[in-house]
Amino acid sequence: MTDTPNEAQGAPNGAEAKSSTPKVVWDDSAMNMSYANVVNVTSTREEVTLFFGTNQTWNARESEFKVKLHDRIIVSPFAAKRLLTLLSAVVGEYEKRYGKLDIADPREGRPGGQ
């Protein structure tokens, strides 16, 4: 398990800090890790599906790109909206630290995107 900096710390003398929000304990003992440089999303009324994969085409001049999909994550629309909020915040902090990200299509002659 890992601790995050935002977790509540115990009060002095062993007394627990009182809070209306329960403490989240992240159990990463069964976590898998994979790398993705491609993501796609589809949705229905009941669910949002995220597909993660790896671009297998190394020559950008090819007319067809092969993407090997390796993970599919299905979430409710409510969880998707929470994910949107979290990702927006994380990317915003990244851009404050390292500069604006340009995700323009490189085939259009503009820098940035992949």
Tens digits of residue pLDDT in 34-84 = 999 999 999 999 999 999 999 988 777 778 888 999 999 999 999 999 999
H or E, element range at 94:
helix 77-98
Distances (CA, A) of 80 to 12, 19, 27, 51, 55: 38, 27, 21, 13, 24
H or E, element range at 87:
helix 77-98
pTM: 0.65
| Residues 21, 13: Cα–Cα separation, whole Å | 21
| Residues 88, 104: Cα–Cα separation, whole Å | 18
Question: What's the pLDDT score for residue 19?
Answer: 63
Asked whether the CA dihedral 83, 87, 88, 90 is positive or negative, the reply is: positive
| Residues 53, 35: Cα–Cα separation, whole Å | 8
